[in-house]
Structures are given as C-alpha cells and as structure tokens.
Amino acid sequence: MKTKNILGSFISVLLIILGALLASFSVACILLPNDAIDYGTAGIAIIVSKLTGFNLSLCVLFIFIPFVVGGFFVLGVKFSIKAIIGSLAYTLGLAFFEKLSFELNTEHFIAVAFGGALLGIGLSLILKSGGCIDGSEILANIILKKVTDKTGRNYSMMPILVGFNLCVYTAVFLLIDKNASLLSLLVYIVATVIIDRYTDHFEAIKQVTIITKDEEELINAIRFGLNKTCTIIESKGAIAGENKTLFCYVNYFELQKLRDIIQKNKGTFSTVTTIDEIIR
C-alpha cells in the first residue's frame, strides 16, 4: 500500500511538471508572439513584464509566491509542495522557451485558439494531479473558506475566477492593447472549456458520497481536517449489512484532501458528483 502511494505521488509530480511545461511552451512560443496572454496571476505577471521590461519568468515566480504561502494555510502542505513544483517547472519552462526559436506560421486567430487549447491541456494535467500554477484559484479558495466558515454554506469558485480574470483583461485593454485583450479572452474561453471537460467542472461544488461501517473516525477527520460537516443516513447493503452513508460537499481543491482522508479509512466506498446548483 505504501509503495502504491509513493508511485502514485511520483506519477502526479511528473504529470504536474509535464503540464507546467506544456503551459509555459504555449505562453512563450504561441500566445505571446501572437499578441495574446495567459490569464490569472500569470496574466498579471505578463502585464507587469510588458510595462516594466522585467524578466517574465521572475515576474511570474514573485507574483505567485504570496498565493502559495496563502495556500499553505488553507489547502495544506501536500498541495503547497505540488504548487511549488508546478510553479518552478512553469517558470523554468518560460525561461527556456522564451529563448527557443519557434514560429507558428498561421493566422493569429488559429494560433491563439491552438495555444489556448494547449494551455488548457497543460493546466488540466496539473489540476487533475492535485497541483496548481495559478494564484487565482488559491485566492478563490481562501475567500470561499472565509465565507463558508462564517455562513456554513458552500459556494462555487466560478464568480470569483470570472471576476478576477475580468480585471486582468480590463487591465490588458486599458494598458496594453485592445486586440490583445480580445485575443486573450479567446485563450481563456478555449482553455476553460478544455479544463472543465477534463476535470468535470473543477470550479463547481462536489458532492462526495461515502458508504462506511466506521463513520466516527471518518467524520472527525473531515471535521478537523477540512472544517466540514456531513449528512449521515442509515443504510444497508445486500451483502455488507448495516452501514452509514455520508454526504459531504467540498470544492475541487478540498476534494484532494478528502480523498487522502478516505484512503486512510479502509472499508469505505465513495463516489463524487458535480453539483450544478444548490437551492437554499
């Protein structure tokens, strides 16, 4: 079991690095040469680099650091380690690919659409492996945690992410170029469609259904590890007999921690469902 976990973690790190390199290649070799930029905190770093002339890869790294520190307290050590690995791979990838002689001989629109798709594939690999190279998702988690702790309700990350990127594209429109802002919006749309498809709408709320015979230890781990509660229903299996069914609602990044909690409690059966809407 321990060997399996180590192998799984190793594969996750490799996929995060691969995803970060794909994303950095897309940004440095396709998007920037075609007057488009990345979104999120990477977009902010690109704006700063263009306006000041500072090195792009260093701008990306320095802007992402505060978000990683914040993520350490909200999402835990395991997530932070993966985020650091992903951000370093992305930064080094930018530094390398910026010097690479690469030219995509096609129209801006087609190049940007292809670059956005490649960026979406890279980010999907990172998110699916439990990592992150964009501070906007971490910021969204920090805000949602504060709101959830006060209200006891779960909310989607989508409004926060859309609002954050709206500010980024407005800055591009006002400070850099109108065409660049429109092309960058195309990047966001294409990349988001691919990410949503591959991660099953990572910005949405997830319902985790857990069937177990030993619910107390699991409930305590969820309560103290995630600051979440569960709905408990008496249930019965045709073969296993009497058990408990737990319903827990988390966001995509909390889901990674919940998986770790469930894996530590043997004898459970779990499913994950994406929730489009919660009516109160």
Q: What is the pLDDT of residue 280?
A: 66
CA-CA distance, 225 to 122, in Å (whole number)? 29
CA-CA distance, 111 to 87, in Å (whole number)? 25
Strand partners, 243: 235
Q: What is the pLDDT of residue 47?
A: 92
What CATH number corresponds to the domain at position 219? 3.30.70.120
Do 110 and 220 have their domain in common? no
Do 94 and 190 have their domain in common? yes
Using the 3D structure, point to which of 199, 214, 235 is the last residue of a domain: 199
Question: CB of 72 within 8 A of CB of 80?
Answer: yes
Do 10 and 93 have their domain in common? yes
Q: What is the pLDDT of residue 1?
A: 55
- Token representation of residue 44: 């902010």
Handedness of CA 169, 175, 179, 183 (dihedral sign): negative
Q: What is the pLDDT of residue 92?
A: 93
Using the 3D structure, point to which of 199, 217, 245 is the last residue of a domain: 199
CA-CA distance, 19 to 122, in Å (whole number)? 4
Classify residue 38: in a domain, yes or no.
yes
Classify residue 280: in a domain, yes or no.
no
- Alpha carbon 130 to its chain's center: 8
CA-CA distance, 91 to 61, in Å (whole number)? 6
Classify residue 39: in a domain, yes or no.
yes
Task: Quote the pTM value.
Answer: 0.85
The amino acid present at 11, given as its one-letter code, is I
- Token representation of residue 38: 């990345």
Q: Into how many domains does the chain fold?
A: 2
Q: What is the pLDDT of residue 91?
A: 92
Do 149 and 66 have their domain in common? yes
Burial code (b: 16+ CB inside 10 Å, e: under 16) for 202-229 equals bbbbbbbebbbeebeebbebbeeebebe
Pairing of β 241-250 and β 231-237: antiparallel
The residue range of the domain holding 133 is 2-199
* Number of Cβ atoms within 10 Å of the Cβ of 178: 10
Do 92 and 7 have their domain in common? yes
Q: What is the pLDDT of residue 107?
A: 79
Using the 3D structure, point to which of 184, 199, 214 is the last residue of a domain: 199
Q: At how many degrees (to 10) do helices 135-151 and 158-175 cross?
A: 140
Residue-wise pLDDT tens for the chain (280 aa)?
A: 566 667 778 888 999 999 999 999 999 999 999 888 888 889 999 999 999 989 998 899 899 988 888 888 777 788 888 888 999 999 999 999 988 877 777 777 888 899 999 999 999 999 888 888 888 888 888 888 888 778 777 788 888 888 999 999 999 999 888 888 888 889 999 999 999 888 888 888 899 999 988 888 888 888 888 888 888 998 888 777 888 899 999 888 888 888 888 888 777 889 999 887 777 6
